[in-house]
Amino acid sequence: MAIVGIVPAAGSGERLGTDGPKAFAACAGRPLLEWSLDVLETVCDRVVVAVPAGYEHGADRVRGAASRSASVREALRAAPEATVAVVHDAARPLVSRVLVQRCLDMLAAGGCDAAVAASPMSDTVKEAGNDGTVVRTLPRAGLWSVQTPQVFDAAALHRALGVDDAVLAAATDDSSLVEAAGGVVRLVEAPPENLKVTNTVDLALAEALLGDRELRAAPRG
C-alpha cells in the first residue's frame, strides 16, 4: 500500500491580500504550506504538491492548474504508485496527525471510497437569490461543513477526476466528484481548530493557535 499526500497549493489567494500566492504567505513565521507538510510527511510515504507556475523547485512539486480539483488531478498523475490519496489544502495549516489518521482508519475499515473531515453546521443555512432575498431555510440537522483532509481510495479519486475541466472547475471539493461518480463518502468529525485561511482574520487566528500549539509542544526549561 502506498499512501500519497496530495496538496493543492496553486491558488492565488487574492482574498488574503498578500503579494504572492497564499500557500507561500508567512504564517506564524514560515510559509503557510509548511505547517501542513510537517503533518502529512509523518503519515504519508510521499507528498506531492501542486504549486503555482514558477514555484516548481525541488522534488514532488508539480505545476497546478486552473481550478483546485484540476490541480489535485495534476498532482495525482505524478504519483501513479498511490493506492491511498490524502488530499489536503495548503490553506488549512492546523491539520493534525490524529485527524489524518482517523480518516485513514475510516477508509481502511471498508465500505467507502472516501473519508473526509467535516464539522456539523452550527449556523442556520439559508438559500438566497442574487438580490439577497431568502428562498428557503435548510433544516440544520444532518448538515455538515466539509473540509480537508479528504482520504480516498486512489483509483476511485482518479476515476472521479476524469471529467471535463468545466466540471472540475465547478467542484468545491473532491469528495463531491467521487459522489457524482457513484462512490460512497463518509464523514469524520474534525476538531474546531481545523480552520481554512481565507482572509486576514483567519490568518491572525491561525497564527495565534499555531503559536499556542508550538508553546505547548516546547520542552519546559
Q: CB-based contacts of 195: which residues, under 8 Å, 6+ apart?
A: 92, 94, 202, 205, 206, 209
Q: How far apart are CA 199 and CA 14, in angstroms?
A: 9
Selected from 24, 47, 71, 84, the binder of ligand C5P by CB under 6 A is 71
Task: Give the residue, chosen from 10, 47, 87, 107, that forms a contact with ligand C5P under the rule CB under 6 A.
Answer: 10
Q: Is 68 in the site for ligand C5P (CB under 6 A)?
A: yes
Binding span for ligand C5P by CB under 6 A among 60-68, 127-135, 139-147, 183-191: 60-68
Return the residue of 3, 4, 6, 23 that touches ligand C5P, per CB under 6 A. 23
Distance, first Cα to last Cα, the chain: 41
**6 with 89: CB under 8 angstroms?**
no
- Pick the piece of the chain touching ligand C5P (CB under 6 A) from 58-66, 97-105, 123-131, 154-162: 58-66
Q: Does residue 93 bind ligand C5P (CB under 6 A)?
A: no
87: β partners: 6, 150
* Interaction between residue 67 and ligand C5P (CB under 6 A): yes
Burial of 76 (0-12, 13-18, 19+ CB in 10 A): buried
Shortest CA distance to 177 belongs to which of 67, 61, 97, 78?
67
Site for ligand C5P in 152-211 (CB under 6 A): 198
Q: Is residue 89 at the binding interface for ligand C5P, with CB under 6 A as the rule?
A: yes
Q: Which stretch binds ligand C5P (CB under 6 A): 84-92, 97-105, 125-133, 184-192?
A: 84-92
d(CA 1, CA 14): 38
Query: Using CB under 6 A as the criterion, which residues of the chain lie in contact with ligand C5P when the complex forms?
Result: 8-11, 22-23, 50, 64-68, 71, 89-91, 198
